[in-house]
């Protein structure tokens, strides 16, 4: 469910025509819907009504402060994977007591920052990380609440690049080592082992693998409690998939919540959920403009002003995004088969191959649907292309929540070495 629909022949975000935003802000740009963000958060929260839970929004999915602040107002916490994301979450008004810090490579400065802030939980992924955290916490006179991310050796399916629960992946500690790690944690100063964490992948549309992984986690929680550990939290990560195509039919948040209730039946424990894509994915689109239509060797190329540096998912994951013209085509308009590509000097700068589309011409505008997650956050200034602007809509108003940088701003952090500037 989202709030992007045609009205009077124009594609709207809520009550704002997207071509109005394109006229005022330019393209490429990302547009987010407040109503969709709100609905998706509330659908998940309602599904867990009656349980002890923390919804820690995964900032890496869509890290704009405007989006995070919108979710903070609904009661969301944050799952962060860097000091920068922690800073953003705090800046957006998310209390430190609702922030979980994940990630395999936390630096000393990041650990200090999180301890100073007093975050809810550290999701620890290795023995060296635990020992580093212990030393820093003890030196600061702090106690770090810790959950170990256990690797349940469960294949989540989906694209290999977003699967994280197998033995070959860098994430988490080995399942068979969990008992040893918790015993070690009990002996270290500054460490309080309070939970168990698991995350097996992203864009999971069939929750069966999640059930297998969560059953193993519940078994581990019971075992640790029997050994005297006060395990009060079970962090189940994120990963719930969304529909990218009209034919997609992923398992729903209600089914997800019911499965978790069944798995943890009889276990009184706080649940920590880390949704990202499920909340932000269909809450955002990316707008682009057609620069040229090129015909060559029996193919037609629609060349856009947006490239893989703006929306990386098709190049990185072979991901599919529905593409809609901002001006609605008549229902009987014949479709054309085209490749939709960008201007970046890479063969992978292609958004869609042999896609059936209404006829497109120079200066037409299009929207890449379901671009709210892993869209703007993965963008770069490759080819010295300014990062796309970001806009959020609320009813019939909108605001720019990240402006497009100028060329001067792009080079402002760069300089020639002093031995060259001295010659000028």
What confidence tens digit (pLDDT) does each residue in 8-49 have?
999 999 999 999 999 999 999 999 999 999 999 999 999 999
* CA–CA dist 334, 299 (Å, integer): 17
Residue where one domain finishes, among candidates 232, 255, 273: 273
* The total number of structural domains that make up the chain: 2
pLDDT at 296 over 70: yes
* pLDDT(162) > 70: no
Confidence of residue 156 (pLDDT cuts 50, 70, 90): low
266 lies in the same domain as 341 = no
How far apart CA 194 and CA 207 sit, in angstroms, is 26
> Does residue 167 register a pLDDT over 70?
no
- What is the rounded average pLDDT of the residues 268-274? 97
What's the CA gap between 335 and 353, in Å, rounded?
14
Question: Are 214 and 331 members of one domain?
Answer: no
Residue 53 placed within a domain: no
Asked if residue 79 belongs to a domain, the reply is: no
Please check the confidence at residue 161 and state whether its pLDDT lies above 70. Answer: no
- On average, the pLDDT of the chain sits at 94
pTM score, whole prediction: 0.94
Within 219-307, strands assigned E span: 233-235, 270-273, 284-296, 299-304
Q: Is 339 found in the same domain as 239?
A: no
Other CB atoms within a 10 A radius of the CB of residue 187 amount to 8
Structure confidence at residue 168 as a pLDDT band (50, 70, 90): low
Q: Is residue 120 part of a domain?
A: yes
Kindly report, residue by residue over 310-322, the tens digit of the pLDDT: 999 999 999 999 9
Residue pair 57/71 in contact by the 8 Å Cβ criterion: yes
pLDDT, one tens digit per residue, over 334-381 is: 999 999 999 999 999 999 999 999 999 999 999 999 999 999 999 999
Q: Which of 273, 305, 325 is the last residue of a domain?
A: 273
pLDDT of 422 reads 76
Pair 218, 259 in one domain: yes
Residue 140 domain flag: yes
- The share of the chain scoring above pLDDT 90, in percent, equals 92
**255 in the same domain as 204:** yes
Residue 382: asked if its preceding bond is cis (omega within 30°), the reply is no
**For the residues 286-300, what does the mean pLDDT come to?**
97
Domain match, 231 and 294 both: no
The verdict on 359 and 324 lying in the same domain is yes
- Grade residue 72 by pLDDT with cuts at 50, 70 and 90: very high
Show which residues are catalytic.
345
End-to-end CA distance of the chain: 59
Structural domain contains residue 94: no
- Token pair belonging to 363: 């200066």
Neighbours of 381 (CB within 10 A): 11
Same domain? For 313 and 177 the reply is: no
Residues 111 and 145 in one domain: yes
**122 and 261 share one domain:** yes
* CATH number of the domain within which 250 lies: 3.20.20.10
Does the residue 75 lie in any domain? Answer: no
Q: What is the pLDDT of residue 170?
A: 66
What CATH number is attached to the domain comprising 315?
Answer: 2.40.37.10
pLDDT score, position 1: 72
Residues 252 and 304 in one domain: no
User: Would residue 339 count as lying in a domain?
Assistant: yes
- Cβ–Cβ under 8 Å, residues 361 and 374: no
pLDDT at 233: 98
Check if the beta carbon of residue 290 is closer than 8 Å to that of residue 364: yes
Neighbours of 380 (CB within 10 A): 12
117 lies in a domain? yes
159: confidence class by pLDDT, cuts 50, 70, 90: very low
Are 228 and 187 contacting, i.e. CB atoms less than 8 angstroms apart? no
Residue that terminates a domain, selected from 221, 246, 273: 273
The pLDDT of residue 165: 41
How would DSSP label each residue in 299-340? EEEEEES--TTT--HHHHH-----EEESBPPPTTPPPEEEEE
300 and 258 in one domain? no
User: Containing domain of residue 8, as a range?
Assistant: 4-31+282-411
């Amino acid at each position: 469910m989202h709030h992007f629909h045609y009205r009077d022949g124009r594609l709207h975000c809520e009550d704002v025509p997207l071509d109005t935003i394109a006229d005022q802000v330019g393209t490429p740009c990302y547009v987010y819907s407040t109503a969709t963000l709100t609905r998706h958060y509330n659908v998940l929260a309602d599904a867990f009504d009656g349980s002890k839970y923390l919804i820690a929004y995964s900032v890496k999915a869509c890290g704009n402060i405007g989006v995070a602040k919108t979710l903070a107002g609904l009661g969301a916490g944050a799952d962060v994977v860097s000091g920068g994301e922690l800073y953003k979450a705090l800046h957006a008004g998310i209390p430190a007591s609702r922030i979980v810090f994940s990630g395999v490579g936390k630096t000393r400065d990041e650990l200090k920052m999180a301890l100073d802030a007093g975050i809810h939980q550290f999701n620890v992924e290795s023995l060296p990380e635990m020992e580093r955290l212990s030393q820093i916490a003890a030196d600061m006179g702090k106690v770090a609440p810790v959950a170990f991310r256990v690797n349940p050796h469960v294949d989540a399916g989906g694209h290999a690049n977003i699967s994280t629960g197998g033995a070959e992946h860098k994430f988490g500690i080995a399942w068979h080592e969990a008992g040893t790690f918790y015993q070690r944690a009990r002996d270290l100063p500054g460490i309080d082992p309070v939970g168990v964490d698991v995350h097996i992948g992203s864009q999971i549309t069939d929750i069966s693998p999640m059930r297998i992984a969560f059953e193993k986690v519940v078994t581990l929680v019971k075992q640790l409690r029997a050994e005297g550990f006060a395990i009060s939290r079970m962090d189940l990560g994120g990963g719930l998939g969304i529909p990218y195509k009209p034919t997609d039919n992923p398992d729903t948040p209600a089914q997800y919540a019911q499965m978790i209730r069944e798995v943890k039946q009889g276990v009184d424990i706080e649940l920590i959920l880390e949704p990202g894509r499920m909340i932000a994915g269909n809450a955002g689109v990316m707008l682009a403009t057609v620069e040229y239509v090129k015909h060559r060797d029996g193919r037609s190329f629609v060349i856009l002003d947006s490239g893989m540096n703006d929306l990386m998912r098709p190049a990185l994951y072979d991901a599919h995004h529905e593409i809609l013209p901002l001006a609605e085509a008549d229902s009987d308009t014949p479709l054309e088969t085209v490749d939709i590509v960008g201007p970046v000097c890479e063969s992978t700068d292609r958004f869609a191959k042999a896609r059936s589309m209404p006829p497109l011409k120079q200066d037409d505008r299009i929207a890449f649907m379901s671009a709210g997650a892993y869209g703007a956050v993965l963008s770069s200034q490759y080819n010295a292309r300014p990062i796309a602007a970001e806009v959020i809509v609320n009813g019939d108003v909108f605001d720019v929540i990240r402006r497009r940088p100028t060329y001067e701003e792009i080079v402002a952090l760069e300089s020639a070495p002093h031995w060259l500037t001295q010659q000028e």
